[in-house]
Amino acid sequence: MTSQLTLKDTFAPYYTIGLERDTVEFLWSSVTQEALESSVDLKIKIQTSELYSLAEKLGCTARQGKIVIPTFDAYNRLLIYACVRPLLRKPEKVEELTRLVFEINSLDALYWASRFREVWWEHGKYRRIIKFAKAFKLFFSLE
């Protein structure tokens, strides 16, 4: 039996998080499964073990030093967590953020993740994202 690739298979979006010690790199590519500079949505220092644990709960798999994410929605939720988590110190607030990542609807997740991505694309620095991460905390009562 021969397998035929469809156009959908050839150009299926590919969402991953590259893991390196305490730094993660969010990559979204619609053309290739190789990381291109233009496909970087965020690069941030965060505890990779926390992010990996959350990713497992969202149905992601790990292989060759990266987390492969099955859906755009899961990608958005993980990106939100990575942007907001560095601003939280209290363990109970981290737990609230984790719960919130699962509970917010897909449109809210899309909105916030898109906003974080746009700021990253424009400036390439997490420092610029902090203002929007603080707005997220305020909006969802994580203060």
Query: What is the predicted pLDDT for the residue at 34?
Result: 53
For residue range 86-129, what is the model confidence (pLDDT) as tens digits?
999 999 999 999 999 999 999 999 999 999 999 999 998 899 99
Query: What is the predicted pLDDT for the residue at 19?
Result: 86
Query: What is the predicted pLDDT for the residue at 77?
Result: 97
DSSP for 75-101, written as a single string = HHHHHHHHHHGGG--SHHHHHHHHHHH
Residue 12: pLDDT band (50, 70, 90) is low
Instruction: Kindly list the distances between the CA atom of residue 38 and the CA atoms of 68, 122, 126, in Å, as whole numbers in the listed order.
Output: 18, 12, 17
Q: Which residue has the higher pLDDT, 20 or 6?
A: 20
Which residue has tokens 């992010």?
51
For residue range 30-75, what is the model confidence (pLDDT) as tens digits?
554 554 455 688 888 988 888 989 999 999 998 888 899 999 999 9
